[in-house]
Amino acid sequence: MNQLTLQGFTVKKSGDTCRFFPMFCPPVLNTISDVSSLSKEEELGLKERQKVLNLNDVNEKYKHDYLNSYFKELNVSNEQEFDWSRMIIRALEFKEFSDCQALLDMIDDRDFVFKYKHDLEMKFETMVGWFLKEKMEITTRIIPPQLDDGRKINLLSLYVMVEKDGGYQSVTLDNLWSAIAKDLGFEYQDEDFIRIIYAMYLDVLVFYYKFKSVQKKAQDKEMLEQEGTPMAANERSRRCKSAEADSSQNDKETENYALFTRNMQDGSWILHKKRRRFNFSEARKAVDEANKSVMM
């Protein structure tokens, strides 16, 4: 009771019971009203309850007049437009390496990756698992890889960051694995682990993909060089007829959809400015010279 008094409450004792009232609130004479047949405390309680109900009414009116009308204008529930790119990403299956090439070509478009990052992350892990199992006959590696403390490594983000900085060899020569580890949410000292993970999961896949791309470019270049010869003209004509026949047959059997990726040079990761190389030997030399200057 003394504690309540010290805290500012007014305490009124009546026999073996007591009532207390908040600070600056005078005690209420709890008499019965002749009009409502209620005590003063009951009337105060009804008034407080009515205030709460009125406040709820104001909130409901606000929701009805503003929030509901706002979401109705958005017309989200009646959206009928389908995102074909997302549907194709989710339906993509890996049966040949050309399927891997298709996904890696999509990832080369950075705007496309930003838009469909969640779907591409899951599909990228599926692709890596398929490649390890079918092409390298490795079934013991956990996907996605993780540290000893359970933190998982996002393989798509790792791939994109290394490609942005010029690839595995360039990142290693420029001492950038610590920066990539930090960008992935790890510590600088985890750089060796991140580098090993890339080598174990992605290095051969990326090499194989780039090898296939170079091989295809060489074939295209050879075809362009032979276009001027009569034999090339006959071959071109034969291929055009064969392609038209295949196209008409495919149109009858299946429906074809196109992904809305740009795959243009200005959207590629390789055009991003690379990080500045950190030269540890130069840094040590600068520190030694500074120490020598201070000592002198």
Report the pLDDT value the prediction gives residue 252, as an integer from 0 to 100: 45
Burial of 42 (0-12, 13-18, 19+ CB in 10 A): middle
Q: What percent of the chain has pLDDT over 90?
A: 11
167: nearest Cα among 269, 256, 40: 269
pLDDT in tens, 14-55: 788 877 776 666 555 667 777 777 777 777 778 888 887 787
Cα separation values, 127 from 15, 122, 123, 143, 262, Å: 81, 9, 6, 10, 22
- Using alpha carbons only, how large is the chain's radius of gyration in Å? 36
Report DSSP letters for 21-52, one per residue. E-TT-PPP--PBPTTT--BHHHHHHHHHHHHH
List Cβ neighbours of 127 (8 Å cut-off, separation of 6 or more).
94, 99, 100, 103
Which token pair is 85? 């790119």
pLDDT in tens, 95-119: 998 889 888 888 888 888 888 888 9
How far apart, in whole angstroms, are the C-alpha atoms of residue 158 and residue 87?
24
Burial of 158 (0-12, 13-18, 19+ CB in 10 A): buried
73 or 154: which leads in pLDDT: 154
19: nearest Cα among 33, 40, 46: 40
SS3 (DSSP) at 173 = helix
| Window from 78-87, 123-132, 242-251 with minimum mean pLDDT | 242-251
Tell me the one-letter amino acid at 255.
E
- The pTM of this model reads 0.55
Structural domains of the chain, ranges and CATH numbers in brackets:
94-206 (1.10.150.60)
